[in-house]
Amino acid sequence: MTVRRPSVAIAALILALGLTACTSQVGGQANPSQSGSGTSTPTSASATDDPGNPFAGLSPCTVLDQVLTGQGFPKAAPTIADAKETCGASKDTSGNTPGVTVGLSLQAGGNYKDNVTNPQQASDGNVNGRPAVEEREPQHSPGQCAVRFQVKQDSRALLVISSGSDTATACKQAEEIAAKVEPLLPKN
């Protein structure tokens, strides 16, 4: 039996989604990251230290652990690519049940419509009333789904699921987990 460990894949997926900048439209074109005032967007380290950061003092690992409790996931761990903003947890394949990897990134200075890498598979919606974009197969690979939702103006949460090759199931899981993450985040 081969045990699938998708955690490296999800870390790469979150890194690609988090570092690629696009215009604020779902069908946007790639652009360098910039804020509306023309100053550069803060890096992860400065965003974490910024007193205006809505996520200051909030760990994505703690949030992820809280919403995944009782579902067979190990404790969430910071990703290598972006340890200050992003955590992930993976549950291995068991019998006919594919492994699942969940990643959560809390990003100050990012619009929820930014970084849509597969706009043909993206749709607008909401997570418990917060504006959101759901993207099926963000890296053009079956079994992946990303949900980005607004936390405060120009701050967002990004939840990514990778599970087997069933995209519909991955998106259902992403929607369910995003709905549990949302109440734990700062209000608009």
List pLDDT tens digits, range 65-121.
999 999 999 999 999 988 999 999 999 998 888 899 999 999 998 899 998 999 999
Q: In terms of pLDDT, which residue wins out, 167 or 1?
A: 167
CA 176 from chain centre, in angstroms, equals: 13
* pLDDT band per the 50, 70, 90 thresholds, residue 51: low
Q: What is the pLDDT of residue 94?
A: 86
pLDDT of 31: 33
CB 148 within 8 A of CB 135: yes
Q: Quote the pTM value.
A: 0.76
Q: pLDDT category, 153, cuts 50, 70, 90?
A: confident
What pLDDT band is residue 43 in, cutting at 50, 70 and 90?
Answer: very low
Q: pLDDT band at residue 188, thresholds of 50, 70 and 90?
A: low
- Listed in sequence order, the residues at least 6 apart from 131 whose beta carbon sits closer than 8 Å to its beta carbon are 112, 124, 149, 150
For the chain, the average pLDDT equals 79
What is the pLDDT, as a whole number, of residue 7? 44
Q: Is 151 exposed, middle or buried (0-12, 13-18, 19+ CB in 10 A)?
A: buried
Residues 130-140, mean pLDDT to the nearest whole number: 95
Q: Is residue 12 scored above 50 in pLDDT?
A: no
**Chain Cα centroid distance, residue 93:** 22
* Those residues with Cβ within 8 angstroms of residue 107's Cβ, 6 or more apart along the chain or in another chain: 18, 47, 55, 85, 155, 156, 157, 158
Give residue-wise pLDDT tens across range 154-182: 899 999 999 988 999 999 999 999 999 99
- In this prediction, what percent of the chain has a pLDDT beyond 70? 72
What are the extents of the domains in the chain? 7-184
